[in-house]
Amino acid sequence: MAERWFLIILLAIVCFSFGSFFGKLASLKDIPFRVYFFEAVGTLTVFTTFVIYYRNTIFTNFAINFPALLMGLCWGIGTVLFIIALKYAKLSIVAPLSAAYPALTVILALIFLGEKLELREIAGIGFAIISVVLLAR
């Protein structure tokens, strides 16, 4: 049986896939900034539900988590840029290119967190970089 985290990430992949697909459909009929507006409404709906459900946990011993705030800002800006790119390029190119961000994340983890890579992980990142080069041409 698959580990719990693996099933969760598979569901996340399905959500991200449909989200990108719907983003492309939206970008075909509207301007990128209005697309982002409605994407934000969807996000706020999930956010509000989450906060209401977990309010006691979230607001007990509350303190600002700056790395989490920066995460949200980076993801928000990245989402706007992704939506703008969808307006001008094929989803079949934009989605895989944007999905190559883990290669940079790995480099950051190596430099700043001292993480180590196994040979198969290095190979996987290498293939990801090669795929970006092939798709970008």
| pLDDT tens-digit map of 101-114 | 888 888 899 999 99
Separation between Cα atoms, residue 5 and residue 43, nearest integer Å: 22
Residue 135: pLDDT over 80? no
Are the beta carbons of 27 and 86 closer than 8 angstroms?
Answer: yes
Other beta carbons within 10 angstroms of residue 45's beta carbon come to 10
CA 125 to chain centre: 17
Find the angle CA(18)-CA(5)-CA(111) to the nearest 5 degrees: 90
Residue 19: pLDDT over 70? yes
Report the pLDDT averaged over residues 105-124. 92
